[in-house]
Structure 1
Amino acid sequence: MPRTIVIGNISLDHIHRPHHPPVRQLGGAALHLAAAAARAGLPAAPAAAVGDDLAGLAGDPRLPALDWSLLHHAPEPSATFTIHYDEAETVTAVTTDYGAARHLTSHTLHLIDRHPQAVFHVSCRHPLDVPAVLHALTEHGRVFSLDFHLPSAPQLIPAAAPWLHHATTIFVNAQEHALLTRHTGSPSPCPETVITDGPRPARVLLHGHLPRSAAPAAVPTVRQITGAGDTLAGTYLAHRARHLPPAAALDRAVHAATRHTTRLPLIIPAPRRAPS
């Protein structure tokens, strides 16, 4: 099974939810998605630009075995995101200091050139130059999937539109899917489009047809929200790489995302790994 290189941010997040104390935690789409893919059996390498403040990622005992060789270590601090949610668990505001993540585009273009056998997943977020990255992937004939994030989707979906039909899979939420359909003229511009909708059933469209939906199970306590969509995407990609049908992969992905919300977040600082 080829290695999947997950392009995106790894960050220090400050999470604010109503009726919960603020939390400082480890986050970023590249981390959550690669970790979920690895837990589901897919060799995964997060490719991100981080500072010295995240130099200890490989030793964090809460993370699965990942290939950390593709991190770019920059002199700036790692990206930080302050994320506010409302009562419906919807993102209402994001404040960002990109820091080391400003090196991500040049690092990604280097990796696309150097790893012809890899499969790529692109988490389309600022400050990544998404058109440049998708153009390079297409020009080099690389296999790739991608996802979006609602705060930046209104800018990045139209910017990415010329290359979306080259992707194998696109992951969006319901609001992003409306934008995707508007800017591409198709509800599924690539072979598979996975659509999440919070606590409502997730769907997978195959060339625009709806073969199956999967509803998340109710959980007694939601401990975290950030990373649930990335967990779903990473798990789905892992099971599709093992040739499970889309409907079966979606069932497992929704279950993994639901389970993710019941886990404690990756609070900073991380516990030390016990000596072997």
Structure 2
Amino acid sequence: MQRTIVIGNISLDHIHRPGHQPVRQLGGAALHLAVAAARTGLPVAPGAVLGRDLARLPHDPRLPALDWTLLHHAPQPSAAFTIHYDTADTVTAVDTAYGAAEHLTGHALHLIDRHPQAAFHISCRHPLHVAAVLPALAARGCPFSLDFHLPSAPQLIPAAAPWLHQATTIFVNAEEHTVLTLHAAPRSCREIVISDGPRPARAVLNGRALPPVTPPVQPTVRQITGAGDTLAGTYLAHRTRGVPPPAALTHAVQAASHHIAHTPLTLPAPRSAPS
């Protein structure tokens, strides 16, 4: 099975939710998506930039087997995001320190040049320069999928617009989908997956909407961050294995629901047992 390289941030997240103690945890789209894809059987390698504070990440015993060989280590601290939610679990504010992730665009271009036979998933989020990365993928003929993040979607969806029709799959939430439709006709996109929190998720194939899939109700929500990335990683893994879109979406929605019911990867991480 073709290896997928996931370009995006791996970060230290500080999560604030009303009625909960603040949590310091591992985060970033590249981590959550790669973990979900690996657990579904896809050979996957995160192509991220880490600081010294996350140098031991590949040895974290809580993570599944991933190909860590494409990480780049930088002297700055790793990217850090402080995320505030309201009582409806909607993001109200994000404070960002990109740190080592400022090197992500250069690292992504290096990986595209070195691995033209790989598939790529691009998490289109600052500080990645998508207008440099996407044409490089198109020029090499690499298959690629995309996701966006609401705080940066109004800037990065227009920047990605010339290459949206070449993406195998585009992942957005309901609000990001509204922005996407301003810059790409649904029929021009091969496959769009639209998540909407606890509401039904949808897939649209060349403008044709498939039946929505409603997430199962979770009586206890232990984490919010990473649910959309878990859905995307699971969906990609199933589609790569040839699973039809309706079944892939069902599996992806179930995985995202499973994700929010489990304890986040809080820090500090336990050390691996000595060999």
TM-score band w.r.t. shorter chain? over 0.9
| Match of residue 10 from structure 1 | 10
In 2, Cα distance between equivalents of 1:183 and 1:191? 15
| CA distances 1:96-154 after superposition (whole Å, capped 9, x unpaired) | 00000000000000100110111000000000001100111111111000000001001
- Tell me whether 1:98 sits opposite 2:98 in the alignment: yes
| Match of residue 28 from structure 2 | 28
**Residue 47 of structure 1 contacts residue 70 of structure 1 at CA under 8 Å; is this kept in 2?**
yes
Q: Report matched runs for 1:128-207 at 5 Å.
A: 128-184=128-184, 186-187=185-186, 189-207=188-206
In 1, Cα distance between equivalents of 2:31 and 2:211? 28
How many aligned positions are there? 275
Please state how far the C-alpha of 1:275 moved relative to its aligned partner.
2.8
In 1, Cα distance between equivalents of 2:247 and 2:38? 18
| Match of residue 244 from structure 2 | 245
| Match of residue 219 from structure 1 | 218
In 2, Cα distance between equivalents of 1:132 and 1:37? 26
- Unpaired runs of at least 5, structure 1: none
- Tell me whether 1:48 sits opposite 2:55 in the alignment: no
In 1, Cα distance between equivalents of 2:47 and 2:86? 31
Please state how far the C-alpha of 1:88 moved relative to its aligned partner.
1.4
| CA distances 1:3-35 after superposition (whole Å, capped 9, x unpaired) | 000000000000011111100000000000000
- Tell me whether 1:228 sits opposite 2:222 in the alignment: no
In 2, Cα distance between equivalents of 1:188 and 1:66? 35
In 2, Cα distance between equivalents of 1:274 and 1:209? 50
| Match of residue 126 from structure 1 | 126
Moved over 2 A (4+): none
Residue identity opposite 2:41 in structure 1 = G
In 2, Cα distance between equivalents of 1:156 and 1:227? 20
* Secondary structure in 1 matching 2:15: strand
In 2, Cα distance between equivalents of 1:253 and 1:188? 23
Q: Report matched runs for 1:253-264 at 5 Å.
A: 253-264=252-263
Q: Report matched runs for 1:69-88 at 5 Å.
A: 69-88=69-88
In 2, Cα distance between equivalents of 1:170 and 1:224? 24
* Secondary structure in 2 matching 1:235: helix
Identity %: 73
In 1, Cα distance between equivalents of 2:87 and 2:183? 30
Superposition RMSD in Å: 0.8
| CA distances 1:18-57 after superposition (whole Å, capped 9, x unpaired) | 1111000000000000000000000010010111110111
- Unpaired runs of at least 5, structure 2: none
In 2, Cα distance between equivalents of 1:65 and 1:39? 8
| Match of residue 89 from structure 1 | 89
* Secondary structure in 1 matching 2:212: strand
Superposition TM-score, scaled by structure 2 size:
0.99
Please state how far the C-alpha of 1:70 moved relative to its aligned partner.
0.5
Please state how far the C-alpha of 1:188 moved relative to its aligned partner.
5.1
**Residue 181 of structure 1 contacts residue 188 of structure 1 at CA under 8 Å; is this kept in 2?**
no
Residue identity opposite 1:13 in structure 2 = D
* Secondary structure in 1 matching 2:35: helix
